Amino acid sequence: MRPWALAILFALCLAPPCAQAQEEARAAEVRIKAAFLYKFCDYVEWPPAAFARPDSPFVIGVLAADAIADELARVVEHRTIHGRGVSVRKLKRGAPLAGLQMLFVGGADGTRLAELIAAVKGQPTLVVTESEGVHAAGSMINFILVDDKVRFDIAPQPAESGNLRISARLLAVARKVLAGPS
């Protein structure tokens, strides 16, 4: 290419920068997390007792994360989890947490989180969070952003106490597998 062509090439680059990157990144994060929530279910086994009837739907409760709930509802629209239809519920604070196979709690609300997790302790409910330092409080999978990528840590011990079996494939992909108090 000729020098003048190179000059034109550079001249083409004089336009105002756009500033939506942050918002777009947040939207992408929501999409990726919703996809992960759905994918996790393939790699976790629930005991039969987790479901009221053989044809009961798979129920995912989402608290304090409406955007993720909407995206997840879209993802599962024509999909099944372990052969069951899927229902995504946006939960309000104080809503009953019984009968959920998965609970996703958005945001980092330390003390409330501990209460919520205590409420489903020992039940076959996979608890997924997106906060720093919540595994101590009994979360089973926790999202974190590493280098702009959505990664997650797993604490198998609280899951086992709820009779959930997390596959090694999922553990292998986790950023960290946390040893629980035994």
Partner 1 sequence: MTASLGVTARRAAAAALLSLAAGIAAAQSRSAGDLADLSLEELGNIEVTSVSGHAESLSTAAASVFVITADDIRRSGATSLPEALRLAPNLQVARADSGQYAISARGFNSTIANKLLVLIDGRTVYTPLFSGVFWDMQDVMLEDVERIEVISGPGGTIWGTNAVNGVINVITRPAGATQGDLASAGGGDRELRAAMRHGGALGSDGHFRIYGKADRLQNTMRANGSAVADGWDRTQAGFRADWGGAGSAFTLQGDAYSAKSEQRGVVLGTDVGRVEVSGMNLLARWTRRFASGSDLRVQAYYDHTDREDFAAFRPKVDIFDLEIQHAVPLGRHKLLWGGGYRHAHDEVLDGLVAGFVPPSKDLDWVNVFAQDEIELNRRLSLTLSVKLERNDYTGTESLPSARLAWTVSSSSLLWGAASRAVRAPARLDREIFIFPPSSAIRIVNGGPDFVSEVANVYEVGYRAQPARGFTYSLAVFHYDWDRLRSGQPPPAVIQNMIEGKVYGMEAWAAWQAAPSWRLSGGLTTLRKDLHLKPGSTDPTGPSALGNDPEYLWTLRSSHNLAPRQELDILLRRVGELPVPAVPAYIAVDARYAWQARRDVELSLTLQNLFDPAHPEFGAAATRSEIARSAFFKVRWTP
Binding site for partner 1 (CB under 8 A): 1, 5-6, 9-10, 12-18, 20-21, 24-25, 27-29, 31-32, 34-36, 38-39, 42-43, 45, 74-75, 78-80, 145-152, 156, 166-173, 175-177
Nearer to partner 1, 111 or 182 (CB): 182
Min dist. Cβ of residue 144 to partner 1 (A) = 11
> What type of residue is 104?
F
Rounded to a whole number of angstroms, the minimum distance from the CB of residue 21 to partner 1 is 5
**How near is the Cβ of 58 to partner 1 at its closest, in Å?**
13
**Cβ neighbours around 173 below 10 Å, total:** 13
Query: Please, what is the minimum distance in Å from the beta carbon of residue 163 to partner 1?
Result: 15
Q: How far is CA 56 from CA 60, 85, 111, 129, in A?
A: 12, 8, 32, 25
Give the start-end residues of each E strand in the chain.
44-45, 58-63, 86-91, 102-105, 126-129, 141-146, 149-154, 165-166, 176-177
CB nearer partner 1, residue 9 or residue 95? 9
Contact between 143 and 35 (Cβ < 8 Å): no
Q: Which is nearer to partner 1, 34 or 102 (CB)?
A: 34
